[in-house]
Chains A and B, each alone.
Chain A
Amino acid sequence: MVKKLVVKIWPLFATIIMYGLSGCSSVQPWEKQNLAKPEMTFEGDRLDTGYTEHIYSSKEASSGGAGIGGGGCGCN
């Protein structure tokens, strides 16, 4: 199952990797002032994210996606 999914999804990863490595993304360091804003990172408010992910993973059958690690729970 996982092999089939990876085969399907891998072209997306390959495309974005090729995009990056080919130099298509030519954003220079001095052009990154917007990218450097805290709200442009994928990390966000750690405690907020912790609560929200815990709520949804305990009330739905799915969990994870953005990262791995952290404690398990008897709630799901």
Chain B
Amino acid sequence: MESVPVKNTSKKSRVFGALLASAAMLLPSAKNALADAAPEQAVVSMKYLNYHDSQTGDTDLTAGMSKDRMTVNALSFMGMVPIAGKWSIAATFIEDSVTGASPAYHGWGFPSDEKKDTTSSASGDLRHAGDLNVTRYFSRGTLTLGTSYSQETDYISRGVSMNGTLSTENKNTTFSLGAAYNSDTIDLGKPNVVKSKQIDTPGRKRVASGLFGVTQVMSQNDIMQLTMTFTHGDGYYTDPYKAPDWRPGHRNMFTFMSRWNHHFDGPNGTAHLSYRFYTDTFGIKSHTFDAEYVQPLAHGWEITPNLRYYSQCAADFYVPTGNDPLVATPTTGMDFYSEDQRLSAFGAFSYGVKVRKELGRSWTADVKYEHSEQRYNWGINGKGDPGIPTFNMSAIQVGLSRKI
């Protein structure tokens, strides 16, 4: 390679250059702006979650359809260790305990209904899940290999993934590319599976996903990210615990997500804005808007309020309630059908706040509360089903983290 001759420079410019270099060296974490530098410290974290949801029949049509549904208590752990400045290993583990039942299918499970909600017998169900990710850091990119495993009494999921990033020389643009594969097994021989769906052979579901994304530094205070994901799934998507539910055996999903972070110099706060568009071959289309604002305060405190709005249209095979939501809707002659309220059209508003406190140089503690409410007439795409009661959920998280 041809050497570049050293130009004669004035003393002034040499001093200026040295000052710039010194300034850059004083900002070693600046290289983390696009998160492609190896972490310098290990981190261990734990977090507890208490979640509860309920349905409230607060219209003439849904009067009497009120019920507490599900409570979840979960504990999760995360550890991340940097190795030799070029590698990191991160692992998470979660155990959650579920009591109660998933949201009602029309009138299923309500006291005035004679139909039996078989998921109520899932009381005390435990789920254990974990994942392991190994990341190699290069001068202009990363490569991460991951594996995951999740087990419930009736469901096992195994997954592998590979994600890579590549930055331009100035590190203002980063491209992301990823692929993942999951193989799931559903036990259909359980006594609480609907009789007509009980078979000894387990149900299978295989899901392959791909991701392409671009992260772009827009200014000294702005960074933007666009991400597309494609998912193709084949296998058992039907709910085995509810009779009025028979779904297609394949599902293609597509998401487009845009995220924008902006730093405000005055209050030293940061706004996170995001929008997600989702569509799939079930006929679902949804829009999700998220906004949160991180405000550091004195003495190591930090407060983060957040707002979220979500709207979805109904699946093509969703069966709406009739004049009486407690009476079954006929599905004769239909290839696919579902009374699952999660496949109906609705809109949801969420709000929450997270408070975080630094405890010395190494420890941080945080508490977060979030509440969400779904209503059939809050959506912006698709006509809602007035026979579906309002769905409420709230969650509290308490966490502790330590850098080592």
Contact = CB atoms under 8 A, between A and B. Distances in A.
Interface residues of B, number: 115
Given A29-B24, A30-B24, A60-B286, A9 B223 contact: no
B214 to A, nearest CB: 6
A20 B152 CA distance: 45
Chain B at the A interface: mostly helix, strand, loop or mixed? strand
A68 interface: yes
Given A16-B214, A61-B284, A67 B29 contact: no
A7 interface: no
Contacts of B92: 46-47, 50
A55 B399 CA distance: 17
Interface in B180-215: 180, 182, 184, 186, 205, 207, 209-212, 214-215
Interface in B34-77: 35, 45-47, 49, 51, 53, 74, 76
Interface residues of A, number: 56
Contacts of B32: 36, 41
Interface string A19-57: 111000101011111111101111101111011100110
A76 B184 CA distance: 12
B354 A1 contact: no
B78 A59 contact: no
Contact of B220 (A12, A31, A42, A76): A31
A13 B284 contact: no
A33 B25 CA distance: 11
B176 to A, nearest CB: 9
A33 B35 contact: no
B99 interface: no
Given A39-B270, A71-B129, A25 B173 contact: yes
B301 to A, nearest CB: 14
Nearest to A40: B261
Contacts of A1: 252, 254, 279, 281
Contacts of B76: 47, 50-51
B328 interface: no
A59 B103 contact: yes
A5 B278 CA distance: 11
Interface of A: 1-2, 5-6, 9, 12-13, 16-17, 19-21, 25, 27, 29-37, 39-43, 45-48, 50-52, 55-56, 58-76
12 contacts: A17-B216, A36-B33, A42-B215, A45-B399, A47-B399, A52-B395, A60-B342, A62-B276, A65-B256, A65-B276, A69-B180, A74-B152
Interface of B: 20, 23-24, 27, 29-33, 35, 45-47, 49, 51, 53, 74, 76, 78, 90, 92, 94, 102-103, 127, 129-131, 146, 148-150, 152, 154-155, 157-161, 163, 168, 170-173, 178-180, 182, 184, 186, 205, 207, 209-212, 214-221, 223-231, 252-259, 261, 263, 265, 270, 272, 276, 278-282, 284, 286, 288, 294, 310, 312, 315, 342-343, 348, 354, 366, 368, 370, 372, 374, 391, 393, 395, 397, 399
The 3 closest A-B pairs by CB, nearest first: A69-B161, A74-B155, A20-B173
